[in-house]
């Protein structure tokens, strides 16, 4: 089989995550054109906006409402869109190999490839659907919905994504049984008042919350660290915390103990100065993995990629000490947390809808 020729590019943007979308929009607003031959590599021709996924499952949005077509955005900046998934990275050579064998060598490289669901020991006896990439979960959800038969679903996770998905699935799949399993208290990063309200909501909707560590699947049973075995489920949805992609751990890039790419406050790799990383794939100083931080990193990423191309000083990313979280509860309301503050109501859902739809509208090519 003939190997595809190696293609050279002055700048490769890998992944259409929040940070890259924001960076591209910043360049568009500045009328900045990246070098001829710049590529954006992404597994799909569109970028799904994760903040609207629960609303899509709950029936408030159509798929087109929640996705940003990448081709028009790239075309507006003279960037080539390459549909493919990163399979291997050699950081020393800045060499990228895609899953179909195509190879790219970049002078400057920016990674915004997200994360993988946690690995789970299993024997294949129960379907396991990761919450990301969302397209696969959405297709499976449509099969459950169109089948019109009740399903018994387990969700693994204790963060905002797992909480929102549990409520959205319960609202959209009538008479189905939804159970949530988390290894930490529900919404542990949020105020205790919000945690109590969230647990009460789950109880009111008939959703069980099991505080335990899911360790594996055997003969259709969910195995928990406490020794309990749960059975009777039709599928497991994984909405657990971020896990680094295997390709970045074998790339030669310096990573933190968990395998995330170690970067400085300018989002530049600590080991390779011509490689930047942002979002869930990176370990950014004084920051944790969440969509709000990824969006805010986009502005700094736009500044610093442009600065490196133009040989100018880099800017530092300064994460906020507090981040705003708006959680859709699939009943016309939403929950809010900001530092120690918590609130709930229809007005919160209205605010969330306004912010989400504004993000989509702003990052689509005009």
CATH assignment at residue 29? 3.50.50.60
User: Residue 39 in contact with residue 79, Cβ under 8 Å?
Assistant: yes
Query: What confidence score (pLDDT) does residue 147 get?
Result: 85
Q: Are residues 138 and 233 in the same domain?
A: yes
Does the pLDDT of residue 321 top 80, yes or no? no
**Confidence tier at 288 by pLDDT (50, 70, 90):** low
Q: What is the mean pLDDT of residues 152-165?
A: 95
Residue 297: how many other CB atoms lie within 10 Å: 28
Last residue of a domain, one of 241, 265, 288: 241
| 241/274: higher pLDDT | 274
Does the pLDDT of residue 1 top 60, yes or no? no
Does the pLDDT of residue 182 top 90, yes or no? yes
Q: What is the DSSP letter of 126?
A: S
Length of the chain in terms of residues written: 366
Is 352 inside a domain boundary?
Answer: no
Q: What is the mean pLDDT of residues 84-94?
A: 96
Q: Are residues 125 and 182 in the same domain?
A: yes
Query: What confidence score (pLDDT) does residue 337 get?
Result: 95
Instruction: Name the domain count of the chain.
Output: 2
DSSP alpha helix (H) spans, the chain: 18-30, 53-57, 70-77, 134-147, 160-172, 192-204, 246-249, 291-309, 346-363
**Confidence tier at 290 by pLDDT (50, 70, 90):** low
Q: Are residues 103 and 19 in the same domain?
A: yes
Last residue of a domain, one of 207, 241, 275: 241
Q: Provide the residue range defining the domain that includes 39.
A: 6-43+84-116+243-320
Report the range of poorest mean pLDDT among 61-65, 122-126, 131-135, 205-209.
131-135
| 316/132: higher pLDDT | 316
**Confidence tier at 163 by pLDDT (50, 70, 90):** very high
Query: What confidence score (pLDDT) does residue 5 get?
Result: 83
**Confidence tier at 88 by pLDDT (50, 70, 90):** very high
Q: Are residues 235 and 127 in the same domain?
A: yes
Does the pLDDT of residue 84 top 80, yes or no? yes
Q: Are residues 250 and 222 in the same domain?
A: no
Q: What is the mean pLDDT of residues 302-307?
A: 97
Is 182 inside a domain boundary?
Answer: yes
d(CA 79, CA 73): 8
Q: What is the mean pLDDT of residues 174-192?
A: 93
Is 175 inside a domain boundary?
Answer: yes
**pLDDT, tens digit, for every residue of 108-120?**
999 999 988 777 8
Give percent above pLDDT 90 in the chain: 79
Last residue of a domain, one of 215, 241, 267: 241
Does the pLDDT of residue 144 top 70, yes or no? yes
Q: What is the mean pLDDT of residues 218-232?
A: 94
Closest CA to 45 of 65, 25, 66, 71: 71
d(CA 64, CA 49): 11
Computed over every residue of the chain, the mean pLDDT equals 92
| 59/185: higher pLDDT | 185
Query: What confidence score (pLDDT) does residue 117 get?
Result: 75
> pTM score, two decimals?
0.92
Does the pLDDT of residue 246 top 70, yes or no? yes
Q: Are residues 11 and 108 in the same domain?
A: yes
Q: How far is CA 319 from CA 160, 260, 289, 291, 298, in A?
A: 20, 18, 11, 12, 12
Query: What confidence score (pLDDT) does residue 221 get?
Result: 93
**Confidence tier at 291 by pLDDT (50, 70, 90):** low
Is 176 inside a domain boundary?
Answer: yes
Is 130 inside a domain boundary?
Answer: yes
Judge if the upstream peptide bond of residue 224 is cis by omega within 30 degrees of 0: no
**Confidence tier at 224 by pLDDT (50, 70, 90):** very high
Q: What is the mean pLDDT of residues 243-270?
A: 93
């Amino acid at each position: 089989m003939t190997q595809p020729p190696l293609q050279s590019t002055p700048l490769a943007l890998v992944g259409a995550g929040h940070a890259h979308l924001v960076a591209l929009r910043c360049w568009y607003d500045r009328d900045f054109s990246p070098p001829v031959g710049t590529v954006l590599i992404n597994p799909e021709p569109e970028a799904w906006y994760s903040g609207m996924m629960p609303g899509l499952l709950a029936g408030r949005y159509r798929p087109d409402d929640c996705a940003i077509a990448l081709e028009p955005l790239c075309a507006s900046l003279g960037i080539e869109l390459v549909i493919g998934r990163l399979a291997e990275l050699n950081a020393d050579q800045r060499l990228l190999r895609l899953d179909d064998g195509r190879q790219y060598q970049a002078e400057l490289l920016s990674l915004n490839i997200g994360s993988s669901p946690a690995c789970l020991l299993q024997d294949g006896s129960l379907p396991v659907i990761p919450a990301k990439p969302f397209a696969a979960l959405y297709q499976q959800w449509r099969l459950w919905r169109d089948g019109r038969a009740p399903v018994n679903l387990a969700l693994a996770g204790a963060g905002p994504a797992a909480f929102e998905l549990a409520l959205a699935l319960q609202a959209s799949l009538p008479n189905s049984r939804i159970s949530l399993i988390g290894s930490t208290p529900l919404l542990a990063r949020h105020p205790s008042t919000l945690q109590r309200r969230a647990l009460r909501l789950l109880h009111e909707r008939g959703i069980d919350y099991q505080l335990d560590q899911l360790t594996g699947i055997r003969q259709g049973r969910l195995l928990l660290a406490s020794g309990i075995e749960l059975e009777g489920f039709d599928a497991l949805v994984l909405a657990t915390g971020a896990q680094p992609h295997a390709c970045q751990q074998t790339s030669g890039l310096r990573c933190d103990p968990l395998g995330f790419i170690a970067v400085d406050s300018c989002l530049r790799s600590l080991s390779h100065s011509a490689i930047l990383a942002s979002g869930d794939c990176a370990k950014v100083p004084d920051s944790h993995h969440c969509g709000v931080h990824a969006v805010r990193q986009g502005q700094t990423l736009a500044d610093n990629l442009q600065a490196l191309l133009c040989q100018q000083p880099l800017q530092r990313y300064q994460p906020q000490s507090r981040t705003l979280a708006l959680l859709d509860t699939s009943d016309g309301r939403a929950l809010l947390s900001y530092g120690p503050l918590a609130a709930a109501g229809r007005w919160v859902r209205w605010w969330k809808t306004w912010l989400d739809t504004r993000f989509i509208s702003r990052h689509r090519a005009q």
